[in-house]
Amino acid sequence: MKLIISIALFVSTFFNAFDVTDDVVAAIKSGKSSELVKFFDEKLSVKILNQEDLLSKSQAEANIKFFFEKHAVKNFIVSHSNSVNANVQFITGTLETSAGKYRVSVLIRRNLISQFRIENENE
């Protein structure tokens, strides 16, 4: 009985991670920092173009909101999505905006974003 419960918990955790990944991708596609912040850890590493820092949840949201206001999102295409294990996922993709294309990388740990990067496509 304990084995069945353990397997059920493992499987549900595994599938919840994919739900978070889909929601994160949808938030990036919509360019809504208010949707993205729902998945932020309390502190996260954020790199936007040439500026990188460890920020609080609210600071990260403000910086990403500012980027999305200056670079209206047209589309986001996932180029790679990988689950390292049930607790760690990684997403990379191309963000097409009104100002050009950028590479986005997201590291998700325990269903919370711990690293978010927006870099020039050619870096």
CATH number for position 48: 3.10.450.50
Q: What is the dihedral of CA 34, 102, 20, 64, to 10 degrees?
A: -20
Give the separation between CA 104 and CA 27, rounded to whole angstroms.
13
Look at the pTM and tell me if it is higher than 0.85.
no
Question: Can you tell me which residue has the tokens 């050009």?
Answer: 100
Spell out the per-residue pLDDT of the chain, length 123, in tens. Answer: 555 544 544 544 444 444 689 999 999 999 999 999 999 999 999 999 999 999 999 999 999 999 999 999 999 999 999 988 889 999 999 999 999 999 999 999 999 999 999 999 876
As for how many domains the chain has, the answer is 1
Concatenate the DSSP letters of all residues of 47-96 into one string: EETTEEEEEEHHHHHHHHHHHHHHS-EEEEEEEEEEEEETTEEEEEEEEE
Owning domain of residue 70: 2-120
pLDDT at position 84 is 85
Strands 88-97 and 73-85: antiparallel
